[in-house]
Amino acid sequence: DADVTQTPRNRITKTGKRIMLECSQTKGHDRMYWYRQDPGLGLRLIYYSFDVKDINKGEISDGYSVSRQAQAKFSLSLESAIPNQTALYFCATSDPGTSGRRGQETQYFGPGTRLLVL
């Protein structure tokens, strides 16, 4: 079973609709992230959460909101979808580990959700 899962894998919606993308992880990591990927722009950070009570805006949070329902679940919502939110969305997790070296954590990515807003 995958450690980081995203649902749905693909979604088509219409302008103005509210949609939610869900992410679940079984890795036991406290830190979770949402990115969007656009051709030629790489991955850009939307929101990140270092624990259930800590949520932070990333580079491109406008038009998005998140909810950290539990350590294992981190959802991304588009309150009123617009066509320029058409993109590939990734959830990721990380853990600082126990080695004492900060910042070394690897990010583990889900399979991505391809969203098309018409």
Contact set with other proteins (CB under 8 A): 31, 33, 35, 40-45, 48, 50, 56, 58, 88, 90, 92, 96, 101-107, 109, 111-112, 114
Sheet architecture: strand order including 4-7: 4-7, 19-25, 73-78, 64-70
Nearest distance from C-beta of residue 90 to other proteins, angstroms: 7
Nearest distance from C-beta of residue 30 to other proteins, angstroms: 10
Question: Which residues, in sequence order, are CB contacts of 64 under 8 Å at separation 6+?
Answer: 34, 46, 47, 76, 77, 78, 79
Nearer to other proteins, 50 or 73 (CB): 50
Nearer to other proteins, 12 or 16 (CB): 12
